[in-house]
Amino acid sequence: MLVTTLHTTATDTVWIARAKGAVSYGVSVSRNEFGINGGLFPSPDGKRLAYYRKDESKVGIFPLLDITSRTGSLIALRYPMNGMDSERVDLCIWDSETRTNITIDADALAEPTQPTTRYADDRYLTNISWQDDNTILIQAVDRSQHYCKLVSFDATTGELTGTILREENPEWVEPYEPTHPISPDRFIYSTDNRDGFKNLYLCDLKGNISRIPTAHADVQFKAYRDGWIYYTSSELSPAENHLFRIKLTLPRRSDKGVRFNQPRSEKGVRFDQPSSDKGVRFGQPQRLTSEQGWHSITMLPDGWFDTFSSFDNPGWSKVFSDDGKLRETLEESSDPLGEYASCEVEFGTVPSADGLYQNHYRLIKPLNFDPQRKYPLIVYVYGGPHSQMVHDSWLGNIRMWEMLMAQRGYVVYCQDNRGTQCHGAAYEKAISRCCGQAEMQDQMVGIRALLAEPWIDSTRVGVHGWSYGGFMTISLATTYPEVFKVAVAGGPVIDWKWYEIMYGERYMDTELTNPEGFALTSLLGKANKLQCRLLICQGAIDDTVVWQHSLSFLQECIDEGKQVDYFPFPKAYHNMMGRERVYLYQKITDYFDNNL
């Protein structure tokens, strides 16, 4: 329940909000970071229930305007801003048989060797998993997100029973999925902190760990059954997703180690043999998906469901048995754009600015493209972590708004950059402590290559993005003002000191520990560099990128005498849905039509 009061003095009016019920139970925590998407974790036998307890009493309140009441009111959003007080998370366990409730001893997780800060006791309890009915595993991350340890607790007492593994990284550690038990004392663990890619590891409760011999590429665990580990991998290409499996033979009690099937030579693939795990032998994985492209896999109890498409194939949906044999074809898609005026789409790569990687792009040419003409260019950008805008799926994972703009006479370009996923840890962590810099450099490689084409009008270049893409849009417009004529930024991050702790401190640390990075990436003070026409759109009750960002930049533009266009959506959150989304994209389309 929210209670608000207004106190008026001769000099000012102060809004005071007291949000009751700051403690909640069984809900998602840490603003859904670290792969967290719920707060209830039943034991395998169903007799115990682990659940999060979240205490937000110290978290600052940001006021959002609710216009639906007669006189208007304020919504008290508890928003943990970078460098400020955060929520306190505990894990509790309810025993249905004894009717007792315990809280795990989270204070036992303190690391005396870690740096002492004001928030040294803050930690994230992530990826909760049950190893058995009495043992619960937690991946505990410290506030700085440079340290992580996998720990086990006794579910009957809440006491710490062991620290299984430790991770440390000067950029960040980010556990993103729970462990997967495969025997009473063994489980599969995922991390990108040990071998340069997000790999899978066979571990036991004593801390012994061996990398499961997938290729050197980012992989994701899908299932374990009948001695087979199933996983998807980007090893053929960062733009492709395929399903693999590998046979695992667990040792009998008398065995000294774990045996994998004997490796076979295939297309020059080589696996590193561990030097410390005696008796562990790695084998060649089996690829189960054959068609080049993107396979979205859903595991079934005795098989898997594959939704597939590739750049030039609209795809199909099929069900396969565990060994990869086709069981049923559910749908084979025809060209969904066959009845429409489709435009030519190009799929390819450009080098990253540091020359170490290839970034994928899609390029949509205008309807009835004539290379003798000159066309305006629109760049659609996101570029942030955990994203991949372009991959080898139908028309390069195109958004239909891009096709619409190409039909209206624009060249439309979208490209991934360093900082996004599926290329390994170094590629993703190139943005550490300086968000937007490597991303802009990579984007400009592709943009400049396009500007060299005779059919691009270099005086008519626009850029558009939302959220992190809004941050990238204004960053590009103010860093390369000579390039862009029009920009449309939605829900943009303006300064990382106003963004949430969990995400922002991972990539930027804090203003105290990284003052140079905050000064470099902040868009405050850069309004004077703006030369293009700029439209900013913002949900007035955005609880992800709060209104303070765009309003502060707007004020900077006023102070600098820079004319910008600003459109708030009074009842919209961060992601525009329904009527607001339709209205938004008509406004974006009109803005480019009128100014580019």
Q: Assess whether 210 carries a catalytic annotation.
A: no
Q: Which residues contact 337 (CB under 8 A, 6 or more apart)?
A: 403
37 near 28, Cβ under 8 Å? yes
Query: Rounded to an integer, what distance in angstroms lies between the CA atom of residue 115 and that of residue 143?
Result: 11
Q: Which helix (H) or strand (E) holds 296?
A: strand 294-300
CA-nearest of 484, 447, 486, 488 to 465 is: 488
- Rounded (10°) angle between helices 468-479 and 437-451: 60
558 φ/ψ sector (left φ>0, alpha ψ -120 to 50, else beta): alpha
Looking at the DSSP assignment, which residues form a beta bridge with residue 186?
204
581-589 contact pairs (CB < 8 A, 24+) = 584/490, 584/537, 585/401, 587/535, 587/537, 588/401, 588/464, 588/488, 588/535, 588/537, 589/401, 589/404, 589/405, 589/408
- Which amino acid would we find at residue 438? A
Q: Which residue has the tokens 């809900």?
A: 27
Query: Rounded to an integer, what distance in angstroms lies between the CA atom of residue 558 and that of residue 246?
Result: 61
- Which amino acid would we find at residue 59? V
Of the residues 30, 542, 549, 550, which is catalytic? 542
Q: Assess whether 295 carries a catalytic annotation.
A: no
Q: Are strands 456-466 and 486-490 parallel, antiparallel or unpaired?
A: parallel
CA distances from 316 to 310, 330, 332, 362 (A): 10, 8, 4, 22
438 near 427, Cβ under 8 Å? no
DSSP 256-289: SS-EEPPP---TT---PPPSS-TT-B----EE--
Structure tokens belonging to residue 179: 């462990």
DSSP 122-142: -EEEEEEEEEETTEEEEEEEE
Buried-exposed string 10-20: b where 16+ CB fall within 10 A, e elsewhere: eeeeeeeeebe
385 near 34, Cβ under 8 Å? no
CA-nearest of 175, 219, 174 to 199 is: 219
Of the residues 467, 475, 522, 550, which is catalytic? 467
Q: Which residue has the tokens 């005498």?
A: 561
CA-nearest of 141, 174, 144, 146 to 428 is: 174
Query: Rounded to an integer, what distance in angstroms lies between the CA atom of residue 585 and that of residue 158?
Result: 51
Q: Which residue has the tokens 């996923």?
A: 421
Q: Assess whether 296 carries a catalytic annotation.
A: no
Q: Which residues are catalytic?
A: 467, 542, 574
